[in-house]
A and B are shown apart, each in its own frame.
Chain A
Amino acid sequence: SQQGEEDPQALSIQEGENATMNCSYKTSINNLQWYRQNSGRGLVHLILIRSNEREKHSGRLRVTLDTSKKSSSLLITASRAADTASYFCATVYNFNKFYFGSGTKLNVKP
C-alpha cells in the first residue's frame, strides 16, 4: 500500500502540552502533507513538506521529514482545546496521487 500510517492512533493530552504525531510510508514521495479534520467535516490543509526539505514551521506547527527512514512527524506546541481533531498525513506520488493514512485522533483536555 502507498498510504502513510500515523502513530499513535489516539492521543489525549492536557491543554498547554505538546502533541507529537508520526507518519511512516513505504515508497519514495514527491511531498508529504498534514491535514486536520474536525468531526464530520472536510479536511483542512495544515502544512506541506517537499521531499528535499527536512523541517518546516507554521505557527505552532513543526513538521520534520526523514526520507531515509520514510517517516515524518507533526509537532503541535502549546496545544489548545480547539486543536482537538483528527490529523492525517498524505503522501503524494506522481504529483497527482494523494494517499491518506488512517489518522491520529487528538483530544486536548481543557
Chain B
Amino acid sequence: SQTIHQWPATLVQPVGSPLSLECTVEGTSNPNLYWYRQAAGRGLQLLFYSVGIGQISSEVPQNLSASRPQDRQFILSSKKLLLSDSGFYLCAWSVSPGDQPQHFGDGTRLSIL
C-alpha cells in the first residue's frame, strides 16, 4: 500500500534562517506531488506541484522554492525565512493525471520567531 511521510512534525525557526522540509512517498511510481500551506483556521494554499523529476510548477510568488530530486521525494526550501512563512505545511500525492484523490501527509507546523 502507498504511504506518505512528512517531517519534521513541528519546527521552530528564527527569522532569516534557512528551511528544508522533506516529503517522501512509498508504494507508487511517478506520483504527482504537491506542497500546500494552511494558515490557522483557513483553507489550503497550493504552493508547488510536480508531475515528474525536476518538473516544478509554482503557484504563488514567494520566499519558498521546491525541488524533486527523486521520483518520490519532494523538498520545500527557503534560504531566509520570513515571519509570514509561519503556517501548517502539507505535502500530498496523487496518481497522474489528477482524476484521482489526493493523499496527504500529517503536516509540519512551522513557527517563525
Q: Could you list which residues of chain A lie within 8 angstroms of chain B, going by C-beta atoms?
A: 3, 30-31, 33, 35, 40-45, 48, 50, 88, 90, 92, 94-103
Contact = CB atoms under 8 A, between A and B. Distances in A.
B98 interface: yes
Contacts of A45: 101-103
Interface of B: 6, 32, 34, 36, 42-44, 46, 49, 51, 59, 88, 90, 92, 94, 96-107, 109
Nearest to A45: B101
A102 B42 contact: yes
29 contacts: A3-B43, A30-B98, A30-B99, A31-B98, A35-B102, A40-B88, A40-B109, A41-B106, A41-B107, A42-B90, A42-B106, A43-B102, A43-B104, A44-B104, A45-B102, A48-B99, A95-B97, A96-B32, A96-B49, A96-B51, A97-B46, A97-B59, A97-B98, A98-B34, A99-B46, A100-B36, A100-B46, A101-B43, A103-B43
